[in-house]
Amino acid sequence: MMNPQEQLLVALQDLDLMLKEHTDSKDQFKKMGFDVSNLEELQKARALLVSKLEPAHVQHYESMQKRHGRAVFPVTSDMCLGCFAAVPSVYRSALYQDRVRMCQHCGRILYFP
């Protein structure tokens, strides 16, 4: 199980990656022949996601995004891939299923694939 708020934060991070990439490299995608004209549709999808998140989570997400460039990082081998600090194994337990899990070292939001 995964906290619904955590799921929304992962979806938001994926969406922000797409928005950034298709803004930064728009010409490259167009040159390849892709239609990337509806950026406003993604902005709408983003606004919808944000509206479903608790304000404190949005605030933390934006702050991490600003500080690190990306707010959500996956956990591999019980390690935060953002700062490579160890992640407590208890994070995988049922005790934490209803919480948004964050790296204790860097504060990034964690995704457990």
Q: Which residues bind to another protein, rule: CB under 8 A?
A: 2, 7, 10-11, 13-15, 17-18, 21-22, 25, 28, 32-39, 41-42, 45, 70, 72-74, 76, 81, 111, 113
**Nearer of residues 96 and 111 to another protein, judged by Cβ:** 111
Among 68, 57, 89, which residue's Cα sits nearest to residue 112? Answer: 89
Taking the C-alpha atoms of residue 3 and residue 85, their distance in angstroms, rounded to an integer, is 22
Q: How far is the CB of 100 from another protein (least distance, A)?
A: 14
Instruction: Retrieve residue 46's tokens.
Output: 């983003």
**Nearer of residues 32 and 90 to another protein, judged by Cβ:** 32
Taking the C-alpha atoms of residue 80 and residue 83, their distance in angstroms, rounded to an integer, is 6
**Nearer of residues 28 and 59 to another protein, judged by Cβ:** 28
Q: How far is the CB of 60 from another protein (least distance, A)?
A: 17
Among 77, 11, 20, which residue's Cα sits nearest to residue 46? Answer: 11
Which amino acid, residue 89? S
